[in-house]
Amino acid sequence: MLSFLRTAARSVYLPIIDKAEDAYAAFAASGRALFLFFSALLIVSSGALIFMLNGALLVSTPASGGSFTEGILGAPRFINPVLAVSSADNDLSVLIYSGLLKTTPEGEYVPNLASSFELSDGGRVYTFYLREDATFHDGTVVSAHDVTFTVAKIQDPSLKSPIRANWEGVTVEALDDRTVRFTLVQPYAPFINNATVGILPKHLWSQVSVEEFPFSELNTSPIGSGPFQVKSVSRTASGIPSSYELRPFDDYTLGRPYLSSMRFNFYQNEEELIAALARGDIEAVSSVSPSLLPELPYNHTERSALNRVFGIFFNQNEAAVLRDLDVRVALEMAVDREALVANILGGYGTALSGPVPPGVVVQSAAKPAAAAEDRALAAREHLLSDGWETSEDGTLFKTTGSDEDEKTLQLSFTISTGNVAELRAAAEFVKEAWERMGAKIEIQVFDQGDLSQNVIRPRKYEALLFGEVVGRELDLFAFWDSSQRNDPGLNIALYANATADRLLKALRETSDEEVRASLYAEFEAELRKDIPAVFLYAPDFVYSIPNDIKGFELGFIETSSDRFLSVREWHREVDHVWPVFLPDTTI
């Protein structure tokens, strides 16, 4: 011990060392042993204290590394923010592309490709200033001309963009390479959400003609400016993508993501999806039918209200019987929505009687109902009192006119819906209620792509069980304004009402929450008078994700792809550092 002290003191004179030597020499043998013991104890205790203090002060910080694999229902066709239709399209689009602004899980808007923006002329003019360091995945700088090009493609009627209605009447111009200005015909409160749309690289897409646009290879081999970029694509023998592997984009404007790899595998149906999760081929799934939730392996499951309204939308052009208001009143009366949510969704949802999901301005929760049998019988009595009669097979019919003008109308029509377990079960539930009432119902089930392209777009259905995605800004224009009755408009009930149109226009022009609530109440009153649809439920969004994924935050869910709003912060690896060495997270 003393020899060590002497060695340490050779180049530096320390009087305390001499004193320690003198004290040590004066000790008897037993004293020297005690001196050495307590000296050693002091050194060990000091070391342990330093170790404990170090452990107490160290904090965990996200580190780069780790991979993530998720299964998605259906394969993507348009990884393109202008054309994206399916969940698979949108999921990959939000990861690969970025907009001028980005939405946070809390529902706020923060700069992304833009560094800032200004609002002027009473809410009609939005001016955005782009970041100088914003680039696409190929290294090309993002400019205002990319923004104007993207908007022009959205507004091009020949491309039939599903978001075209959100850009009607908007003029866009590049003031210089880094400044872009949007001018609206009139103030439009929800326009701010438009600024989150992904921006296309003009230098690549400008070489693609309008006719070739939907068929371009860039739709499945995209180049954007988002947090992740395509690393590799696996395809089936027929050329359909079976999986995508993404890697983080080092120059993403908000900072490089922590995960080193994200892989997405695609499956044709939910049974294959759940089987892949059970085998360990994937580790996360979302939007699974409630009936299959008990089959999910133990995982961290998040749940949030989904901004989607499911209902049965009537096409009176295709089914004459649905033009009768009393028929629509009876059909609305016969359905026990609370029972549907409990039995079909397993409680993972909210019963609705209006066009807006829970938590958005006004709750449209269904009123407590009588027993299902009582509702169906009450609906039947309503029609019988209006002159309807019962045929031998129990189906209601109504005869009007006389002699040569006599016509018999049977209460019979078809319900079209997607080939999803939840939708099939909901359709059967409603069919049973309506048949107890006296209607004759046939259910037609279509694969999602077929339903969209060959049924919904040409409006070839009598009644459609479908879900509408209502945005966080409560813009119902695309769903209910009479100008949106034809494709690519989303007015799938083909609803036309001048008063409703006026209210929808007014809703778009004000950001005052009290005024918006009042206008919405008036609009819903118009819908209740006309009953163009029977609203059923808003489902919960359920996401099964591994327990060790940190930084995940599930907030406001407008569409299922909103589960990726915090993806830059997701991580599996951590470093332990002193607080002073924490990285600066300011962007």
- Is residue 124 within 8 A of residue 187, CB to CB? The reply is yes
Cis (ω within 30 of 0) for the bond into 488?
yes
Q: Using a pLDDT cut of 90, give the percent of the chain over it.
A: 61
b/e sequence 272-301, b meaning 16+ C-beta within 10 Å? ebbebbeeeebbbbbbbbbbbbeeeeebee
Please tell me which residue, 357 or 77, carries the higher pLDDT value: 77
Confidence of residue 579 (pLDDT cuts 50, 70, 90): low
| DSSP per-residue string spanning 338-352 | HHHHHHHSTT-EEEB
- Is residue 561 within 8 A of residue 538, CB to CB? The reply is no
Give residue 418's pLDDT.
94
Per-residue tokens: 124 = 């009609």
86 and 48 assigned to the same domain: no
Could you read off the pLDDT of 6-27 as tens digits, one per residue?
A: 554 455 555 655 666 666 666 6
Mean pLDDT of the chain: 87
Q: Using a pLDDT cut of 70, give the percent of the chain over it.
A: 86
239 and 332 assigned to the same domain: no
**Over residues 508-533, mean pLDDT:** 90
Give the CATH number of the domain where residue 130 resides: 3.40.190.10
CA distance 372 to 339: 8
Per-residue tokens: 498 = 């001048």
pLDDT at 345 over 80: yes
Give the CATH number of the domain where residue 375 resides: 3.10.105.10
Of the three residues 268, 296, 317, the one that is the final residue of a domain is 268
- Indicate the residue type of 414: T
332 and 458 assigned to the same domain: yes
Residue range of the domain that includes 337: 308-540
Give residue 113's pLDDT.
98
502 and 528 assigned to the same domain: yes
Query: Residue 89 falls within a domain, yes or no?
Result: yes
Of the three residues 268, 294, 316, the one that is the final residue of a domain is 268
**Over residues 506-527, mean pLDDT:** 88
Query: Residue 446 falls within a domain, yes or no?
Result: yes
Residue whose entry in the numeric block shows the structure tokens 């939308």 = 313
321 and 367 assigned to the same domain: yes
71 and 16 assigned to the same domain: no
Q: CA gyration radius for the chain?
A: 32
535 and 404 assigned to the same domain: yes
b/e sequence 6-40, b meaning 16+ C-beta within 10 Å? eeebeeeeeeeeeebeeebeeeeeeebeebeeeee
Percentages (nearest 5) of helix, strand, coil residues in the chain? 40, 25, 35
Please tell me which residue, 298 or 528, carries the higher pLDDT value: 528
Give residue 327's pLDDT.
97
pLDDT at 554 over 50: yes
Query: Residue 6 falls within a domain, yes or no?
Result: yes
Using a 10 angstrom Cβ sphere, with 0-12 exposed, 13-18 middle and 19 or more buried, the burial of residue 411 is buried
Contacts 24+ apart (CB under 8 A), 505-510: 505/477, 505/481, 507/474, 507/475, 507/476, 507/477, 508/186, 508/188, 508/189, 508/190, 508/475, 508/477, 509/186, 509/187, 509/188, 509/189, 510/187, 510/189
pLDDT at 40 over 70: yes
CA distance 70 to 277: 9
pLDDT at 59 over 80: no
138 and 31 assigned to the same domain: no
Query: Residue 581 falls within a domain, yes or no?
Result: no
Give residue 365's pLDDT.
45
350 and 416 assigned to the same domain: yes
Residue whose entry in the numeric block shows the structure tokens 């539930």 = 429
Residues 6+ apart with CB under 8 A from 446: 416, 417, 418, 419, 454, 455
Could you read off the pLDDT of 194-209 as tens digits, one per residue?
A: 999 999 999 999 999 9
**Over residues 153-170, mean pLDDT:** 92
pLDDT at 366 over 60: no
Residues 6+ apart with CB under 8 A from 487: 160, 456, 457, 458, 459
Give residue 508's pLDDT.
82
Could you read off the pLDDT of 207-217 as tens digits, one per residue?
A: 999 999 999 99
How is residue 483 annotated by DSSP? G
pTM (two decimals): 0.71
97 and 50 assigned to the same domain: no
Query: Residue 94 falls within a domain, yes or no?
Result: yes
Of the three residues 10, 30, 57, the one that is the final residue of a domain is 57
367 and 244 assigned to the same domain: no
Query: Residue 313 falls within a domain, yes or no?
Result: yes
Query: Residue 189 falls within a domain, yes or no?
Result: yes
Please tell me which residue, 509 or 443, carries the higher pLDDT value: 443
98 and 51 assigned to the same domain: no
Query: Residue 574 falls within a domain, yes or no?
Result: no
Domain tally, the chain:
3
**Over residues 539-564, mean pLDDT:** 88
Give residue 30's pLDDT.
66
Q: Tell me the CB-side half-sphere exposure of residue 523, using CA atoms within 13 A.
A: 30
Using a 10 angstrom Cβ sphere, with 0-12 exposed, 13-18 middle and 19 or more buried, the burial of residue 374 is exposed
pLDDT at 321 over 90: yes
Lowest mean pLDDT among 51-60, 476-485, 514-523: 51-60
Could you read off the pLDDT of 79-134 as tens digits, one per residue?
A: 999 999 889 999 999 999 999 999 999 888 999 999 999 999 988 999 999 999 99
